[in-house]
Amino acid sequence: MLTPPGENGYSMEHEDLDQLKIDKTVTAPRSGTSRGRRFWAAGILLVVLAVSLYVSGVLRPAETVEVVTVQQIFPSQGFTLLSASGYVVAQRKAAVASKATGRLVWLGVEEGSAVRQGDVIARIENADVLAIQSQAAANLKNCRADLDQALAELHDAHLSFKRYTILLSDGVVSRADFDAAQARYRKAQAAVAGARAAIRSASAALDGARVAVEFTSIRAPFDAVVLTKNADVGDIVTPLASAANAKAAVVTIADMGSLQVEVDVMESSLEKVRVGQPCEIQLDSFPDLRFRGAVHMVVPTADRSKATVLVKVRFLDFDRRILPEMSARVAFLSRPVANSEQRPRTTIPSAALVRGRGRNLVFLVEGDRIKEKPVNLGVKVGDLVEVTSGVKSGDSLVLRPAGSLRDGSRISIPEK
């Protein structure tokens, strides 16, 4: 049903419709614009974050690098002409045995025992030779008694001969009695000579018996250290060890003062070696130590099969830790090592250094990342440079780092 028109000819409803207007400040359009701005801000933030992560290396792929280890070296490596390997050898060494055969009844040393020249090391049974010595001593005593008796007889015969000589000149005794006295005198002289010869023989026999007894005492031939013990109490000791289970040498000894390093030097490098040349000796048992040495001898013959010449290097300083048969390496030097060059130095290759922000830097490898480390440098040692602080021996560094590497960059180390 239609509503009656008003005074102006319009209905009330129409007037209400005319009063309706579009409000351009409504919230719906404003809300959509704010959401768009937030989307733009989030996008820009993501882009900035991605760029930042890429620059820092998080999103950047790992870069393949070559790694080198910080090591300690001795300054002598900078003036080493030649290196050779060999073994420590005692130049005076002996397998001590007995000249007599018998059962070992006493052993007074063990491995590592220090002995002086003439010290008794061991003894073998000697009852039989002691009996022979006692017999020889008694025989000598008997011979001396026979000499005393012969001398008494000679004295009496000499007096009788003198009397008969006087009486014969006076014509009191016959020529036959004189001849008998003279014969008795000569016989007494011969008896004395025989008694003296018997004493010399008995004395020699006694000396032989004493030597036989001495052979049962095994003595050190020179000042040395016992290396090995080859027999035990109860073993049969014989000079030639021809009997089953018999032992020839009781112990093996070596003069530690005669230790030298014997190395093989290639013929082509022999011109770099001379007698008296300074050397530095490194033992595999003590890799952090260096011992002073000098060339003692170049053996005047070559090994045809190996094309090498044997060189003997003596130790300049005695050290009880040096033992025979230790493996060793000898560095032949162009000059002696100075006192300031005795200690090892921490070094890195020069190619591991990076110059940045006015200081020397290295990239320290920590897992699959690198860390920028400032270092202080010392002297150059050949192709290496000393590092006084910043890194320590055993650390891994990037060698020849690329310009794209940064602190915290991810790296990849190829397998060798």
DSSP 8-state symbol, 243:
S
Is residue 168 predicted with pLDDT exceeding 70?
A: yes
Q: Which of 40-54, 154-168, 260-274 has the lowest mean pLDDT?
A: 40-54
Domain map (residue ranges) of the chain:
63-74+343-412, 78-91+257-341, 93-125+217-254, 127-215
> What length does the chain have?
416
Average pLDDT of the chain, as a whole number: 84
As a whole number of angstroms, the distance between CA 121 and CA 219 comes to 5
Counting DSSP H helices and E strands in the chain, the numbers are 4, 25
CATH number of 78-91+257-341: 2.40.30.170
- pTM (2 d.p.): 0.64
Q: Are the beta carbons of 143 and 198 closer than 8 angstroms?
A: yes
Confidence tier at 8 by pLDDT (50, 70, 90) = very low
Please report which confidence band the pLDDT of residue 243 belongs to, taking 50, 70 and 90 as the band edges: low
Q: What token pair was written down for 99?
A: 């000249």
Contact 88, 328 (CB under 8 A): yes
Q: Which of 309, 319, 313, 326 is nearest to 278 (CA)?
A: 313
Element (H, E) at 388: strand 384-389
**Digit-coded pLDDT (tens) for 58-113:** 555 677 878 888 888 887 877 889 999 999 999 999 999 888 888 999 999 999 99
pLDDT of residue 17: 46
Mean pLDDT of 120-125: 94
Residue 39: pLDDT over 80 = no
Where does 93-125+217-254 sit in CATH, by number? 2.40.50.100
What mean pLDDT comes out for the span 165-185?
Answer: 89
DSSP sequence for 292-313: EEEEEEEEEEEETTTTEEEEEE
More confident call, 155 vs 242 = 155
Same fold: 63-74+343-412 with 127-215: no
Q: Which of 4-18, 141-155, 326-340, 362-376 has the lowest mean pLDDT?
A: 4-18
What whole-number distance in Å separates Cα of residue 65 and Cα of residue 351? 13
Q: Exposed, middle or buried: residue 359 (CB in 10 Å: 0-12, 13-18, 19+)?
A: exposed
Span 293-307, pLDDT tens digits:
999 999 999 999 999
Q: Can you give the pLDDT at residue 199?
A: 95
pLDDT of 13 higher than 50: no
Mean pLDDT of 123-138: 94
Fold exhibited by the domain 127-215: Helix Hairpins (1.10.287)
Higher pLDDT, 173 or 134: 134
Determine what percent of the chain is predicted with pLDDT higher than 90: 50
Q: Does domain 63-74+343-412 have CATH number 2.40.420.20?
A: yes
